[in-house]
Structure 1
Amino acid sequence: MRIFYASDVHASNRCFKKFLNAGKFYGSDAIVLGGDITGKAIVPFVEQSGGEVHVTFLGKRQTLTTEEEVRSVEQRVGDTGYYPHRCSADEAQELSADSARLHALFIAKIVERVEQWMALAEERLSGDGAMPCFVNAGNDDPPEIDAVIESAARVEFLEGRVVELPHGLELASCGYANMTPWQCPRDVEEDVLAGRLEAVAAQVRDPAWAIFNFHCPPYDSQIDQGPVLGDDMRMRSTAGGVEMQAVGSTACRAVIERYQPLVGFHGHLHESRGTFKLGRTVCINPGSEYSEGVLRGAIVDINEKKRKLKSTQFISG
């Protein structure tokens, strides 16, 4: 049995399209997308009275003069994981001055993108022999997206549930994470996270034949390295580069050590691609390069007869 797993695509249209294609391309029996599927910011396309459109993207200010140019930059913005928004100069100023209105627009853009993705999944994954597709939210993702995924025709939403993959392999999922400095929508304290992880793990019939799809990796596992931040929330650097530290979840580690599932699917820390073994459990973090439009994933081969993990192969493309 082969499963394709990816995580942290953060609203990159290019990465999500690659994810949908990956199952067939790699000969998988199912595709699983871990959490953090939404983006981080809106990019205003400010329409001027003379017909020009001004946009500042990735630190570069551009003046666009044709509809073709605007659509081209909008596509690049979407492929990079941001949300383009056309507006007048007055609206741009009003949004800048009204944080509540800006947040409401941001949530609307997030929901719209997820709706588009679910429609695309239905289009790409329908028909005979359709690829089973499973998607979860992560700590960055607002709760407004849950109902959108739950109502999708060709995607199964995973949060807080145990679902069955081919050959009876169970997939237990939780997209919440321990607290981060950014206080994201699904950041919770370790004791709260422990309760959520235990609640879903307890639903598993046979942990030895299960995957624990926990967005946050276990603490001190080498796949949970994140940058050290100073008081100004900037990454601290040393002569050897950015200073890193273990930022995973102690609750996640405890649950995995207790139940010992076959495999752990994780994400959250984009720079920490790799595998780590906790007892018999092989924990996997494919990493993320969503902002470059590069999909990082893991091809996970499992011997269903021996009920063992055969191999894990990381891909980037």
Structure 2
Amino acid sequence: MRVVYTSDLHGHLALYRAAGEAAARYSADALIFGGDLCPGTPSASNIDLPQSQPAFLLRELQPLLSEWKNAQPRLRIFAIPGNDDCQTILPALAELESQGLLENLHCATKTLGEYTLVGLSFVPPTPFAIKDFERRDLSDDRVEGIQTAWSMLGCAHGFERIGDFAAYLRVQPSIEEELDGLPVTEPARTVAVVHSPPFGTVCDLLLNREHIGSRALRRWIERRQPLLTLHGHIHESPWVSGKFCQRLGATTIVNAGCDYERPHLIFVDLSNPAEIEHSIYGKVKIL
């Protein structure tokens, strides 16, 4: 099964077009988007994101998806939201799925030939305002004092402010708990699409070289050993670390990265995930 993967397109249609074109050239069986699908960052002049993001998916991305499916009928398209997406996009993703154009992998399991795809959008707490897909990382993480200047959830009427973000986190399932709910019956044939990268890897480095990935996810990978995990979230990590992939035991982990100027695309045949190509960083063979 041949897969093209990219992440963190944030509504840039040129990057979406490049991904669709690459899937056609590669004769891909699947095109996967790893989160942060929609445009926009909350600001005083941009408070309608809970409404504008679903509109982007249904009005701007939908025609592209239709075009790709018409040109490549066997191509399957999968996506998860990311932390910059509002939860209000979930009905829009469901609508696209009902049209046969895209399959939402968030908290879901899908079959791709002999392989199983599982997905999860949640990331550990960030300094950013949108909190729809943020969770405690480990179940026993202390959250006292965690607060940002603005903590908001996307709702049908707009943004709803979270008065006490720490209290909100305490009543939500942790990333650790959400991961434990993902079925992995055949690890050697399982691909996980998770917006957050695992902690302490080449995939989770900030510009200051601080690791900020998910500890829960790293533990889950080390314990469950899926074939391949695909990540995003930390745009600069491949540039900072000099690598876009590595091995954790039997698992190959990947962060495509993003800079908005050039497509950051991953090409991988699931029959041989140790050999991966990046549209910018080239081909690698992971030993």
TM-score, with normalisation over the residues of structure 2? 0.77
- CA gap 1:42/1:20 in 2 versus in 1, 3 angstroms: farther
Q: 2:128 aligns with which of 179, 182, 194?
A: 182
Amino acid at match of 1:114: L
Q: Distance in 2 between matches of 1:282 and 1:248?
A: 16
Q: Distance in 2 between matches of 1:118 and 1:205?
A: 33
In the alignment, what sits opposite 1:193? 175
In the alignment, what sits opposite 2:171? none
Amino acid at match of 2:235: H
Amino acid at match of 2:198: P
The percent identity for this pair of structures is 26
Confirm or deny: 8 A CA contact 2:252 2:274 kept in the other structure.
Answer: no
Q: Distance in 1 between matches of 2:63 and 2:251?
A: 35
Give the SS at the match of 1:296: coil
> Cα RMSD between the aligned structures?
2.0
C-alpha distance after superposition, 1:117-145 (max 9, x if no partner):
12320232126733111111112211111
Matched, 1:218 2:164: no
Confirm or deny: 8 A CA contact 1:165 1:171 kept in the other structure.
Answer: yes
C-alpha distance after superposition, 1:234-289 (max 9, x if no partner):
xxxxxxxxx22000000000110110001110111111121121111010011012
In the alignment, what sits opposite 1:54? none
Deviation at 1:21, TM superposition (A): 2.1
Q: 1:170 aligns with which of 116, 127, 131?
A: 116
Q: Distance in 2 between matches of 1:114 and 1:313?
A: 28
Q: Distance in 2 between matches of 1:224 and 1:300?
A: 21
Q: 1:139 aligns with which of 70, 83, 96?
A: 83
In the alignment, what sits opposite 1:268? 233
Matched positions, count:
236
Confirm or deny: 8 A CA contact 2:184 2:224 kept in the other structure.
Answer: no
Q: Distance in 2 between matches of 1:283 and 1:176?
A: 17
Q: 2:70 aligns with which of 105, 110, 126?
A: 126
Amino acid at match of 1:207: P
- CA gap 1:42/1:312 in 2 versus in 1, 3 angstroms: same
Q: Distance in 1 between matches of 2:57 and 2:104?
A: 12
Q: Distance in 1 between matches of 2:57 and 2:280?
A: 23
Confirm or deny: 8 A CA contact 1:162 1:204 kept in the other structure.
Answer: no
C-alpha distance after superposition, 1:267-315 (max 9, x if no partner):
111111211211110100110122x2x2101101232xxxx42410001
- CA gap 1:244/1:283 in 2 versus in 1, 3 angstroms: same
Specify which structure has the higher proportion of strand: 1
C-alpha distance after superposition, 1:21-52 (max 9, x if no partner):
22111221111110111223489xxxxxxxxx
Matched, 1:314 2:278: yes
Amino acid at match of 1:289: D
Where does structure 1 differ by over 3 angstroms across 4 or more consecutive aligned residues?
Answer: 127-130
- CA gap 1:38/1:127 in 2 versus in 1, 3 angstroms: closer
In the alignment, what sits opposite 1:114? 57
In the alignment, what sits opposite 1:280? 250
TM-score, with normalisation over the residues of structure 1? 0.70
Q: Please, which runs of 5 or more residues in structure 1 have no aligned partner?
A: 44-94, 97-101, 228-242
